[in-house]
Structure 1
Amino acid sequence: MAGGRSVSASNHPDQVPLRPRYESCDFSGSVFIISSEGKILNLPIPTKSAQDPLNWSKWKQARAFLALYVFAISADVLTQGSSYLVDQFRSEFSLPVPESIVSAPKLFMGLGALIWIPLSLAVGRRPVFLLCTVILFLSSALAGFASNFGQLLVAACFIGLAQGLSSSMALLMVIDITFIHQRPQAIAMLWCLVGFITATLLALIPLLITKKSSTWRLFYSSWAPPALLSVILAFFFYPETYFIRPPVAFDGRVLIQSATEKVQVYQDWEEVPGGKALPDTPNQSPWSRKFKFWGLTRGGWKAMRICYSQVLGCLLNPLIFWVAILNALVFTSMLSIRETYADILADPRYKLSMNNFALIHMAGAIGCLVAWPVSGFMVSCVTCRLAKRNFGVRDAEHYLLAFILPILTGTVNIIIYGVAVERNWHYLWIYFAYGLNSFTLVSLATANTLWVTEAFPRWAAPALVVLGSVANMTSFGISFGIMPWIRSQGHANADIEIGVLIAVVGCVAIPIAFWGKKMRQQIHERWGMSEMGALRPQ
């Protein structure tokens, strides 16, 4: 998480060999990011505009991240914490199966991804973020005062709808305020830090909730103040970050940054398409512009409509569809573990109390924490090294290395869990599998985000819609079939099958590493002209 005003480069000691031409720069998703002197270029190049988020100071950037983290953590705890309250719901509302309170929000999280990203292309990031924080606050308060199960279910669904932002549009918000070389660590930090704090808080919930006092209302109402805090932080600390970067004059020439974050150089303004950009209009004070909570982007509602057509295109894109299937399979492994571990650990063979087996979330917290340097710092170092060997050009295929560990750990953790349950291994193996599953989830989420946004920068927004909506909607559907599957096959067989599927689908990355550049170039040439959903729409 770092800001800067430099339009040149970040110092780096190593030298990069020269070559006459940089053919791979012609590919969308391939960016010349390291100069011949070994310096990492700060791309995109910040403008002189006060509205450019790349001009933010580190302190202003940190406040924006704080607002985003408080919202994401509050939404995650409210959604996942309800799983501890099922017995209380069953007792108070006399319902035989009240698990819909746990599964229904997953469907609305997927719907949230389908709504919030396209809407942000029309009105900007800030209005959508503010809207989601308000929905989260009102929904948590409504849940705390619900008088019947129907009201509680509606409130839980709206909590899920708001949470859909944290797994979709939040990633675009991070990309908006970071340079290309900073994104692996910034995106990894979002997934891992939020996952770590959420898992730690979930481990403490059973210590605060008792069945006798029917404190499910206390749980929801006690999270209304943090939700309200997220509203306040979003309003004061998160300005608009959706910024269309105009042409800039630099070193006697004119630079235009395309939607794929490449830089085109023109000798004078007459050669620039559209001519010289107009300066910022002074009709608004900086304060009114900073705290504005509604407006339209240059693309307006047309950009939102186009985004939905691009979503269909992303579903048909094999390089994105592969990631969506892999993500759905890993979510299936998560459901296999998280829908069964409580009953298994409370079973007579283990006889753990709720307070004890809830500590399994601490294993998940450790998994998230370990994933931070692995999926952030290590990936950043490896891609930097590969870019130097590629004459300073960072290809999107360099990020495929980030999939190796999640695929391996995703295969191993679900197999270990299934065999441990089937053969009555020590319960620490279940804890280990849970922690490894959490590591897989957050490291894969980081790899997914980097791949789809860097390989297809023109389709960044709709690609993230696909990832967020497919994973959550799939988990909602699978939640109804996972238990019958386990009962028919047995834990070991069902989980081994899931692990094998993850490994097989993950192996698709091997041919993509060799032929992916040519394939994505062909896809861009045929369908990649619209830039409404791009990282930097023009």
Structure 2
Amino acid sequence: MALGIVEPKKGAQPPPGTEYLVDTTQTSGEHHYEHTHFLHGKGKKHDIILVPQPSNDPNDPLLWPTWKREVAFVVLFFNSIIFAACPGPMIAPATVALATQLEVPVKKVAQLSGYQLLIVGALGYEDISFFDHHLTSASRSSANLFFMYSPIVSVLAEKYGKRPQFLFASFFGALGTGICIAGFDQSSLSKSYTVLLAGRMVQGLGTTAYESLAVAAIGDMFFLHKRGIRTSLLVLTTACLASFVAICAGHMFEVLGARNLFVVLLPLQLFGFVCAFLFIPETQFRRNERKFGAATEHGGFAVQEKAETSTQSVTQEPVESTASSTTPKRTFIQDLRLTSGVYNHDGILKLLGRVFIHLLNPAIVWITLVAAILISFFVGTAYTLAQIFSPPPYLLTVSQNGYFFTGALIGGILGVISGPLCDFSARTLSRRNKGVFEAEFRIPVNILAVTMLSIGWFTFMWALERPGLKGGVYLCSFCYGAVCFGTSVAGTSTGLYILDAFRPYATEIFILQMMIKNFLFYAFSTFINEFAAEHGPANMCKVWGIITVCGFVTCVPMYIFGKVNRSWVHRMHMEYLGDK
């Protein structure tokens, strides 16, 4: 056992997610010949082994100039904010006020976000009569197509690359915002609500790719030891920056009105669309992974024959200098092509089926428990905050309801440290494991996550049980911030685990996780307001806290048996799906 991790059966190949990461005395001593043929980092990272090992193709995203990779990441980060983080919480602080303005129940305003997220999640079963009441037959046909969009994003990204999906999402995100603006110019309130609902649904198409493919794109462009901070920044967009949007939106609603919330967003999204076209090249790349060894009976690596490794040059120079290929480097104009070819020649139906096959992977069940459900609790509670704090004894205005999200904003910003913490944990445990990294080394940081989530939910419960408590609103805001912090840590940990443990299937798994998460978002919008009103918001927080603690207990068996599971999943894909 490596630091408590159970090894697969004797003679099994090391599964993806088991890699040399740190050049230690022990590693060099035991596997010196093989180990010297790894490409290393540079400068202070000279002892870090590059995972994955780059190819010699100048078009390999791992070999792009630093500025090109960083600009692509900045655009992904910005677009994740304006297309994925902004649309949902824009109307959260104004839930009660907007319901009054449109003369509809509070539940239907919550469903403006719920159905948007349902589109992102791909398929809906609940409350279809509500759709039938508000959509024409033509719109209903379009909605049926929209419902199947998310898994198709995975298939199209796998087959034709991620760039077309990002451009498609950017276009429809901006289009949906334009439709929302038009919704406030209708002749009647019922028409306004219908058009606004349609606009929110189209906005959902703009959310899908950025919410599910952005983290996978990080795995395409950056080595393992550089993914932590960037993954945590993308997780930040769904937690912290969504809260920042709510803070701004609450004040803007009172000053400018609901229509102008979308008017302000539209030029930002148009700018994001242009930036995506210019600065997000295709990150999908098929490289022949270098295999440096097979497993020994103790689960380690055995040295390959000299003939297999003698062609690899020994270097610790910057990675860019290792590229020597007859393949021409693509120009900036060539990078602007919509697609760069076909990356997978399997049929559409087979690729579509593969998305759902991952539900058989126990790791996906674990990721759902400690990431998707936690974020659903965080977002679902946001639907109820205006309902809780607008009536007596709190009497918060729309802008004050927005300011309540300050706690979540601060918690999300602090949650960015989860990325460096995950990288630190990976390096530290790898050194103790003779330089060998295991994907499960990303899991221990969840101790911090469950601690903060427990503090957040149970203290939130205690404060809501005492509505007359002096400073109770501030304490509740702090608790919501603690929840946001814990959610960010868990989201970063599980996102990195997917990239490390199931790198060949990361796109499909992120799509599946996103679908499950947004199904839950939609489900919460259909009952959470009534649940909070009937059972009390304090009881709601208690339920979330108990489920959270129970969910995180699964981190223990996942850490212990995760490598066995990775080996099993890899073997199943090799034997039954024909993966190489």
Q: Label 1:384 to 1:279 Cα distance change in 2 as closer, same or farther (>3 A).
A: closer
Distance in 1 (alpha carbons) for counterparts of 2:15 and 2:337? 38
Distance in 2 (alpha carbons) for counterparts of 1:355 and 1:493? 26
Query: How far did residue 194 of structure 1 move?
Result: 6.4
Counterpart contact for 2:410–2:481, Cα < 8 Å = yes
The match for 2:307 among 241, 263, 267 is 267
- Aligned to 1:164, the other structure's residue is in SS state helix
Q: Label 1:192 to 1:335 Cα distance change in 2 as closer, same or farther (>3 A).
A: closer
Is 1:420 the counterpart of 2:459? The answer is no
Is 1:34 the counterpart of 2:22? The answer is yes
Distance in 2 (alpha carbons) for counterparts of 1:285 and 1:500? 53
Is 1:433 the counterpart of 2:479? The answer is yes
Is 1:240 the counterpart of 2:298? The answer is no
Is 1:309 the counterpart of 2:353? The answer is yes
Counterparts of 1:470-489 in structure 2, within 5 Å, are 470-489=516-535
Identity of aligned residues (%): 21
Provide the residue aligned with 1:350 in structure 2: 394
Query: How far did residue 301 of structure 1 move?
Result: 5.8
Counterpart contact for 1:136–1:162, Cα < 8 Å = yes
CA RMSD of aligned residues (A): 3.1
- Aligned to 2:526, the other structure's residue is in SS state coil
Q: Label 1:487 to 1:362 Cα distance change in 2 as closer, same or farther (>3 A).
A: closer
- Aligned to 1:394, the other structure's residue is in SS state strand
Distance in 1 (alpha carbons) for counterparts of 2:565 and 2:222? 28
- Aligned to 2:445, the other structure's residue is in SS state helix
Query: How far did residue 523 of structure 1 move?
Result: 3.4
- Aligned to 2:92, the other structure's residue is in SS state helix
Q: Label 1:34 to 1:422 Cα distance change in 2 as closer, same or farther (>3 A).
A: same
Q: Label 1:511 to 1:91 Cα distance change in 2 as closer, same or farther (>3 A).
A: closer
Query: How far did residue 154 of structure 1 move?
Result: 1.2
Distance in 2 (alpha carbons) for counterparts of 1:264 and 1:120? 35
Alpha-carbon displacement from aligned partner over 1:121-166 (angstroms, at most 9, x marks no partner):
1111111111111111111112112233222211111112211222
Q: Label 1:110 to 1:266 Cα distance change in 2 as closer, same or farther (>3 A).
A: farther
Distance in 2 (alpha carbons) for counterparts of 1:51 and 1:210? 50
Counterpart contact for 2:152–2:352, Cα < 8 Å = no
Counterparts of 1:9-88 in structure 2, within 5 Å, are 26-36=14-24, 39-75=47-83, 76-87=85-96
Provide the residue aligned with 2:177 in structure 1: 140
Query: How far did residue 172 of structure 1 move?
Result: 0.8
Distance in 1 (alpha carbons) for counterparts of 2:278 and 2:224? 26
- Aligned to 1:35, the other structure's residue is in SS state coil
Alpha-carbon displacement from aligned partner over 1:467-521 (angstroms, at most 9, x marks no partner):
1111111121132222343344333333222211211121011122223222332
Counterparts of 1:330-479 in structure 2, within 5 Å, are 330-335=374-379, 337-373=381-417, 375-424=418-467, 425=469, 426-479=472-525
> Match for 1:364: what amino acid?
A
Unpaired segments ≥5 residues, structure 1: 1-21, 248-254, 273-277
Distance in 1 (alpha carbons) for counterparts of 2:515 and 2:326? 37
The match for 1:117 among 139, 154, 163 is 154
Alpha-carbon displacement from aligned partner over 1:396-438 (angstroms, at most 9, x marks no partner):
1111113222222223322222221122232111101111121
Distance in 2 (alpha carbons) for counterparts of 1:420 and 1:199? 21
Distance in 1 (alpha carbons) for counterparts of 2:530 and 2:226? 44
Distance in 1 (alpha carbons) for counterparts of 2:562 and 2:308? 36
Counterpart contact for 2:80–2:234, Cα < 8 Å = no
Query: How far did residue 246 of structure 1 move?
Result: 4.2
Provide the residue aligned with 1:156 in structure 2: 200
Is 1:203 the counterpart of 2:203? The answer is no
> Match for 2:174: what amino acid?
F
Q: Label 1:264 to 1:410 Cα distance change in 2 as closer, same or farther (>3 A).
A: farther
- Aligned to 1:31, the other structure's residue is in SS state strand
Greater displacement, 232-241 / 60-69: 60-69
Provide the residue aligned with 1:105 in structure 2: 116
Counterpart contact for 2:58–2:325, Cα < 8 Å = no
Alpha-carbon displacement from aligned partner over 1:374-405 (angstroms, at most 9, x marks no partner):
x1112211210100111111111111113222
Distance in 2 (alpha carbons) for counterparts of 1:158 and 1:431? 32
Provide the residue aligned with 1:96 in structure 2: 105
Is 1:184 the counterpart of 2:228? The answer is yes
Greater relative CO (CA pairs within 8 A, separation 6+): 2
Q: Label 1:113 to 1:454 Cα distance change in 2 as closer, same or farther (>3 A).
A: farther
Alpha-carbon displacement from aligned partner over 1:227-281 (angstroms, at most 9, x marks no partner):
011111111111111011247xxxxxxx5699xxx99888369999xxxxx9666
Query: How far did residue 357 of structure 1 move?
Result: 3.0
Distance in 1 (alpha carbons) for counterparts of 2:339 and 2:53? 27
Counterpart contact for 1:330–1:502, Cα < 8 Å = yes
Unpaired segments ≥5 residues, structure 2: 1-9, 26-45, 123-148, 187-191, 294-300, 313-323
Q: Label 1:527 to 1:66 Cα distance change in 2 as closer, same or farther (>3 A).
A: closer
Distance in 2 (alpha carbons) for counterparts of 1:460 and 1:265? 32
Q: Label 1:529 to 1:384 Cα distance change in 2 as closer, same or farther (>3 A).
A: farther
Counterpart contact for 2:453–2:486, Cα < 8 Å = yes
- Aligned to 2:86, the other structure's residue is in SS state helix
Counterpart contact for 2:251–2:402, Cα < 8 Å = no
> Match for 2:355: what amino acid?
V
Greater displacement, 149-158 / 188-197: 188-197
Query: How far did residue 86 of structure 1 move?
Result: 4.0
Greater displacement, 377-386 / 346-355: 346-355
